[in-house]
Chains A and B, each alone.
Chain A
Amino acid sequence: MNFIIAASSATHDASTIGGHGTFHYILIMALMMTGIYLILSRSNMIKSIIGLNLFQVAVIMFYVSMGKVEPGTAPILMAEDVPHAEHDGHHDEAHDADSHDAPPAAHSPDPKKDVELGAHTLDHSKKVTVGPTTSKVSKITYSNPLPHVLMLTAIVVGVATTALALSLVVRINEHYGTIEEDELEDKGVLI
């Protein structure tokens, strides 16, 4: 299997991921297949939904494991990796503060101060780069945070799906008195 991880700007060979090769992918696939098997084989609706959940969890774990970069750390900006840290820490902080103060100052009633501050920010905005557009190469290797963020959305989707599915099952139970697909088929409901 020639899995390649492209994370941050570096690519890593699969054999280095987590130090366990492709072992976790096999586990994830096993979980996924368990989920699909449950969905297809069980006649009990709740068990099918459990299968669906397993299947979704497997995909979520797949994404999360994909974001790991060896030997990366948690993707939280470290002190020594703050932009321009190599210059003067204090000086930099002042600049940062300025640029953050700038937007409220634009609405300041005092036009003189406004212009002054505006010019000040403009002057330094070229040096201080904030946000993800920074093209600076980091000194520290971070794990890729993007798959984790994506999975937040996927988890929410999974919860919504499960809630909707369970509420449907409750309604089905109210109407037909069973949640077994076999019995529903016998009643001619599922065709």
Chain B
Amino acid sequence: MSNIIEHLPVLQIVVPLVAAPTIVLFRNSTLSWILAVLASWFCLFGSITMLNQINGGGEIPTYLIGGWDPHVGIVYQVDIANAFILTLLSGISAVVFVYARTSVRDEIPEAKHHYFYAALLLCFTGLMGMAITGDAFNIFVFLEISSLSGYALIAMGRNPKALTAAYRYLIMGTLGGTFILLGIGFLYMMTGTLNLEELSHAVPHYAETSVVRAAFAFITVGTCIKLALFPLHMWLPNCYTYAPSVVSAFLSATATKVSFYVLLRAMFMLFGAALIAQAKIFLSFVIFLALIGIFMGSLKAIGQDDVKRLLAYSSIAQIGYMVLGLSLDNADGLTGAIIHLFNHALTKGGLFLVMGCFMYRLNSTKIKDLAGIGKKMPLTMLAFTIGGLSLIGVPLTAGFISKWYLAMGALQAGMWWLLVLILLASLLAVVYIFRVLEAAYFGTPEKEHDVEEAPFSLLFPTYVLIGSTIFFGIWTEPMLGAARKSAELFLSSGGAL
């Protein structure tokens, strides 16, 4: 058993990476689905094993790829923050991939199924790789693996607007990726290493040079593009609106979250100690951007008539909350940011799966088409209601815990006025969620729907994600423990910003 644990870090990448081309070879829809599900379940099992090991006080040995010395080779290093993100990623994929079967058969032509699953697995591989790798250049490579397959996945949407959405995302995403590459180049120039561990020790020595500052600027802006932080969010709404339902759910729950994790790593582990002098100005600027993002996203969400688009704008607002927690620069705020990352992934993933159910039955996610649907599809609508409550942050849902911690962090930082703003923004969330609920439960349809409840194969995975938002809202210990330990790890490494 110990032998397997030793190799688990690399298997997390190798298994889905090998499964993807295998799927293309088989050219069979069912078989490719089975392989994709098996690969994601294997990764889930692996990450839970590693998370348990670390939670139990153990350590996962650093994996040296090809046995090369860490200075020249690539290392995979799993710590508590990593293992937490990996578990989240593979957990979401394990659920979404199961859901994919029915939804993909409905939305993607049969001949493209194996390509779709292969791209989905590659995207998953890239995201897992970004989280697990301990090599700066490797982050860029995995980022591009996940992004390239992501563009292709988005372009597979039925609406031809998916093409222009994917094109826009490609241009923005490549700019972001290349910015990160340039930043990594600057760091390598100064330190002569790409190993994140060595970088975190070396960067503080060059903290006052313009090269390190340029590296910081490029890496931060690059990750913020991938993260869709205001004002770099323009690509996101169209992508989530026109992508196939499965892709919307998968990307909204994972892609931006991993980018946020990379931003956390870069800020706290690489540049933390290096930028103490400029920290105050920088952090207040980031708080400003995060707040604009929260309010702009929420207000725009209220005005949308397509629920998928509404959820996409709400995502921009939620990303604002995460960045807000990061920029508070204290343990509670950071814990709040990490918990928010976790439960927003569950909530938004679940809500987009609900949209997939509507897409399957109604072929539309427009609010006017959803009028009165609460009577025809009560279970689906109940899932949306629970997810919506978690998005608002009602007690007993996971959304409440993260907002609570963000509020605590704001108090600790002495910014009580943030409490008012967080509360106000939550009220905006109430407005846009209730617009949908009102239409669905009390609206009168233009013409009577002759639809029935979404099939079990779609409802079950949806309820697993939606149910988990309640589960983690009540049984907070596992999520809170891991998030707090991750926050401490970030704050203790290289010192706070």
Chain A residues in the interface with B (C-beta under 8 A): 1-7, 11, 36, 39, 45, 48, 52, 55-56, 59, 62-63, 66, 132-133, 146-147, 150, 153-154, 157, 160-161, 164-165, 168-169, 171-172, 175-176, 184, 189-191
Contacts and interface: CB of A to CB of B under 8 A. Distances in A.
B238 A168 contact: no
A164 B171 contact: no
Interface in B55-106: 68-69, 72
A1 B210 CA distance: 8
Contacts of A157: 141, 144, 148, 177
B167 A45 contact: yes
B170 interface: yes
A171 B182 contact: no
Q: Which residue of A1, A147, A157 has the most chain B CB atoms within 10 A of its CB atom?
A: A157
B189 A164 contact: no
Interface in B189-211: 189-192, 194, 206, 209-211
B160 A176 contact: yes
B178 A55 contact: yes
Contacts of B160: 171-172, 175-176, 189
Contacts of A36: 175
Given A2-B209, A132-B68, A191-B238, A168 B166 contact: yes
Contacts, number: 98
Nearest to A191: B238
A149 to B, nearest CB: 10
A3 B189 contact: yes
A56 B140 CA distance: 13
B137 interface: yes
B189 A168 contact: no
Contact of A63 (B166, B177, B185, B206): B185
Contacts of A169: 167
A62 B182 contact: yes
A13 to B, nearest CB: 13
A6 B144 contact: no
B174 interface: yes
A133 B164 CA distance: 49
Contacts of B141: 153, 157
A11 B20 CA distance: 43
Contacts of A164: 148, 151-152, 170
Contacts of A132: 68-69, 72
A4 B166 CA distance: 39
B7 interface: no
Contacts of B181: 59, 154
B361 interface: no
B178 A133 contact: no
A62 B189 CA distance: 10
- Top-4 shortest CB links A-B: A6-B192, A175-B160, A157-B144, A168-B167
A25 to B, nearest CB: 10
Contacts of B185: 59, 62-63, 66, 147
Interface string B137-159: 10011001000100110010000
